[in-house]
Amino acid sequence: MNFETYPFEKLSALLENIEPNKDFEPSALTIGEPQFATPLFIQNALKDSSDLLRKYPASAGIPELKEAMINFVSKRFNVKLSKDEIIPTFGTREVLFNFPQFALFDKQNPVMAFTNPFYQIYEGAAIASRAEVIHLDLNSENNFKAILSDDELKRCDLVILNYPNNPTSAKMHIDELALWVKKALEFDFILVNDECYSEIFFDENDKPVSLLEASIKAGNSEFKNVLVMNSISKRSSAPGLRSGFIAGDKHILEEYMKYRTYVGCASPVPLQNAAAVAWNDEVHVQEFRKIYKENFEIAKEILGIQTPQATFYIWLKVEDELEFTKELYKQKNIKVLPGSFLGRNGAGKGYVRIALVENAQKTKEVLKRLKDFIDG
């Protein structure tokens, strides 16, 4: 297998021979990892369960965790899932990588489509599946919304959407997602939405919707050909818990669960107990949203940008993303991620991704530095 170098490795190579300005404290705005302590009640649940390390974890997950995830989907999206319509996973990265391999294994000439720019695990999964790739190019002309012609959709076996979107922060409305559901049924392909940023939003009256909601609106209440994936990492500042799920079409999930018993990616029981507590609580998530909202208010004041509808990313348009990244690091000791490292065939060119995952004080200081650099 010939995998592409990961974006962060490309960034290290780009900046390798550059000496940053030592007058400033190093600031990395590159990785989407919340820089806040995991709430104590989640940490305590993990500590209190440590004696369960003596037990092998079941691939299907403990009942308490699955129930907590079902409750989350019900409270957040008003979708009632049965137990055979959801599987706990070891975060979303592993399922995004191995589900396509499972789904495409029996296809002689598999075709997989996904948003571009993208989370690189999509591409890795396509390579591991020996799949032909069709890119859903996201740009300002299409408002960063996924569009594909019927002729292309007829060829697809699996399509991965990612809304709210990393890196562009774009959001799709329920009618737009419902149209995708109808196409998945019409052309009989599996449709997945990676929803791991669904809980980082700033308008209670305009929350990101789930593909599950759109499936019901499209008249597909059984979620035929429809799956979503979500994770606790962003919403609970707990990426180390590695707690995610895949939910939707129970017939696909029944066979996928058999596959998972061989993969060996079951989460340790103490982590599952802590994750169950986290999935069941919304108060701490609301507190994190307040922090991210404040960060974007600071960004709006300093950089003059509009607050995105979701995620904690700024998708900043620049003239030359590689030169911008190198000079910013050299002059201000700030690291950002060139958009072209996240895309193919020119997608992401002319943009940098900035992750606002620090507290307000640090965010204000580094964005002022960034503004000084932009103003020259």
DSSP letter for 341, please.
Answer: G
Q: Do domains 7-37+284-375 and 56-281 have the same CATH topology?
A: no
What are the C-alpha distances in Å from 271 to residues 45, 62, 318? 9, 11, 41
Hey, what long-range contacts does 73-81 have (CB within 8 A, 24 or more apart)? 73/210, 73/212, 73/247, 75/282, 76/198, 76/199, 76/210, 77/209, 77/210, 77/212, 77/213, 78/213, 79/210, 79/212, 79/213, 79/216, 81/212, 81/247
With CA atoms as reference, report the closest residue to 196 among 251, 158, 239, 155.
239
pLDDT for position 143: 96
Widest CA span of the chain, in angstroms?
60
Chain CA centroid to CA 55, Å = 31
d(CA 35, CA 16): 25
Residues sharing a CB contact under 8 Å with residue 280, sequence separation 6 or more, in sequence order? 68, 71, 72
Predicted TM-score of the model (pTM): 0.96
Question: Would you kindly state where each structural domain of the chain is located, as residue ranges?
Answer: 7-37+284-375, 56-281
Write the class of the CATH domain 7-37+284-375.
alpha beta
Helix axes 321-332, 7-15, angle to 10 degrees: 60
Alpha helical stretches, state H, 154-249: 174-187, 211-217
CATH for 56-281 is 3.40.640.10
pLDDT for position 2: 86
pLDDT for position 1: 80
pLDDT for position 153: 97
Reduced to 3 states, what is the DSSP secondary structure of residue 321? helix
Spell out the per-residue pLDDT of the chain, length 376, in tens.
Answer: 889 899 999 999 999 999 999 999 999 999 999 999 999 999 999 999 999 999 999 889 999 999 999 999 999 999 999 999 999 999 999 999 999 999 999 999 999 999 999 999 999 999 999 999 999 999 999 999 999 999 999 999 999 999 999 999 999 999 999 999 999 999 999 999 999 999 999 999 999 999 999 999 999 999 999 999 999 999 999 999 999 999 999 999 999 999 999 998 899 999 999 999 999 999 999 999 999 999 999 999 999 999 999 999 999 999 999 999 999 999 999 999 999 999 999 999 999 999 999 999 999 999 999 999 999 8
pLDDT for position 252: 98
